[in-house]
Amino acid sequence: MAAPPPGRCGRVEQFINNAWVRAPQAAAQAQALGGAARTLPVVNPHDNKNIGAVGAGDRAMIDDAVRAARKGYKVWSATPGRERSRVLRGIARGIERRKRALAELETLDAGKPIEESEWDIDDVSACFDYYADRCDEVFGDKAYAEEDVKLPMDEFAGRLRREALGVIGLITPWNYPLLMATWKVAPALASGCAVVLKPSELASLTCQVLGDVCVEAGLPPGAFNVVTGRGDEAGAALCAHKGVDKISFTGSLQTGRIIMSACAKDVKPVSLELGGKSALVIFDDCDLEKAVEWALFGCFWTNGQICSATSRVFIHERIREKFLARLKEAAEAIPYGNPLVKGCRLGPLVSEGQYKKVMKMVERAKRKGYTLLTGGKKPSDPDCREGFYLEPTVFVDVPMDAEVWREEIFGPVMCVKTFASETEVVAMANDSDYALAAAVITDDLARRERMTAAFDTGIVWVNCSQPCFAQLPWGGRKRSGFGRDLGANGMDKYLHQKQVVTYVSEDPFAWYPMFDAKPNSKL
């Protein structure tokens, strides 16, 4: 499938207050720029060709979006849960109707294999449906949630009231552009919050379409806004804005530190889902073919650009040689190339910058003499010559202090080590600055339970790697961040809790006998 002509993809306007607004709006700024909006190119990572542009939003556009969100919040937060639920379901149906178009945009923008993009779009609509259910269940006919709390003194009645937190700034990554945004947008809207979304400048196209879907579904003006632009401009302005009540971010550790520091100035709450360097532990009682497939999927899915990628693989010494031989054979057979072609399982990295970063890490590992089982270079296929491709790459027995072993690579690069005992492998698996996820493959039921308890992570997979469901919370520990997306409690970080205590006794409180006392009386 040929790439679309330049200009087809993206909008240079920003989605604010249910309308597309060209930036900059200020007359002086517009005159200085010749009346044209500042833009960022949209590049197809398959062939490095420009296929369009999006707006380069700045502080002024963020200010407009936040102002609209504050007005939208007043309306949306007062809307009963049942009505909010209806709108969320409308968004889900709008996503379903656009599934093919959204999947193609995602693939053109981020390089994801088309079938993976289609899976992601299915998950987007399912996530909106899930939070529509939660919204109906938690709020019902009210705009807020409320429950009675039994207090130890009968003279008082206690209630816990949960209300929408306010205007939420969302900053999302490029590896799952629309899905990662949805993980935050759906529960925030379900809670009654208004949203300003700043998607990654490397992949914004499907997030722009979400604006049109929200209008179609009946979301009131200002409840959802999208400002595209650079992180150090639009993202920084969003974090610093005093009209934003909370920031929720998914992305790199380095950017997370910057965002946390920016929010600290105003003591603004922040949720961070950062990087990972997840372990996959394979015991010798496994089904070898299944283990190899999960190892490949766990590391090379989404072109290896997954924060939870199980890129540190531990294989029991008794099956080392068989496993490595089959892993090499299977890795070299992974279909790669144009991600718009059905059957592709490994596409390009998202951008030239990301490609160069990953290749530098691979080259440094090769120069250090680490054993390269397979890959480590751009494919020779002419169809991949201009794009940002890297063969599935596997290093074996690298030192545990090696860069490729300890640092998040965010590319199709796996490292394999051997272990002898359960105690040994638990210590090695937990020896990481990150603690997002871990996985174990074994047929031993008791061992599964021991490993599940022993992993120091927020997520554990048993006999699989990477499944994710809206019904379960997602997030990690240590440098993988704090806070959780998804799950039954996924709305909690977008709600604030208010205690309400009422004195219900008909008798005076009798702090002192005030009606019998004389002025300035002393004991």
Domains parsed from the chain with CATH numbers: 21-274+480-499 (3.40.605.10), 279-462 (3.40.309.10)
Q: Which residues contact 206 (CB under 8 A, 6 or more apart)?
A: 102, 105, 106, 109, 177, 178
For residue 3, what pLDDT is reported? 40
The whole-number pLDDT of residue 27 equals 38
Confidence at residue 511, expressed as pLDDT on a 0 to 100 scale: 86
Q: Is 442 within 8 Å of 463 (Cβ atoms)?
A: yes
Model pLDDT, residue 5: 42
Residue 183 sits at the vertex; the CA angle it makes with 181 and 187, to the nearest 5 degrees, is 115
pLDDT tens string, the chain, 523 residues long: the values are 344 444 479 999 999 999 999 865 443 444 454 445 589 999 999 999 999 999 999 999 999 999 999 999 999 999 999 999 999 999 999 999 999 999 999 999 999 999 999 999 999 999 999 999 999 999 999 999 999 999 999 999 999 999 999 999 999 999 999 999 999 999 999 999 999 999 999 999 999 999 999 999 999 999 999 999 999 999 999 999 999 999 999 999 999 999 999 999 999 999 999 999 999 999 999 999 999 999 999 999 999 999 999 999 999 999 999 999 999 999 999 999 999 999 999 999 999 999 999 999 999 999 999 999 999 999 999 999 999 999 999 999 999 999 999 999 999 999 999 999 999 999 999 999 999 999 999 999 999 999 999 999 999 999 999 999 999 999 999 999 999 999 999 999 999 999 999 999 999 998 877 766 666 666 5
Exactly one of 201, 273, 391, 422 is catalytic; name it: 273
Predicted local distance difference test score (pLDDT) of residue 336: 95
In 3D, which of 302, 295, 274, 275 has the Cα closest to residue 120?
302
87-125 exposure pattern, b = at least 16 Cβ within 10 A, e = fewer: bbbbbbebbbebeeebbbbbbbbbbbbbbbbbebbebbb
What pLDDT was estimated at residue 22? 86
pLDDT for position 8: 76
Nearest CA to 256 among 273, 269, 244, 239? Answer: 273
Residue 108 exposure: Cα atoms within 13 Å on the Cβ side: 27
Nearest one of 252, 303, 293, 337 to 413, comparing CA atoms = 303
Cα torsion 512, 514, 518, 519: sign: positive
For residue 128, the model assigns a pLDDT of: 98
User: Does the annotation mark 386 as catalytic?
Assistant: no
Q: Name the phi and psi angles at 90, rounded to 5.
A: -65, -35
Neighbours of 472 (CB within 10 A): 13
The pTM (predicted TM-score) of the whole model is 0.94
Contact 307, 176 (CB under 8 A): no
SS3 content of the chain, % helix, strand, coil (to 5): 40, 20, 40
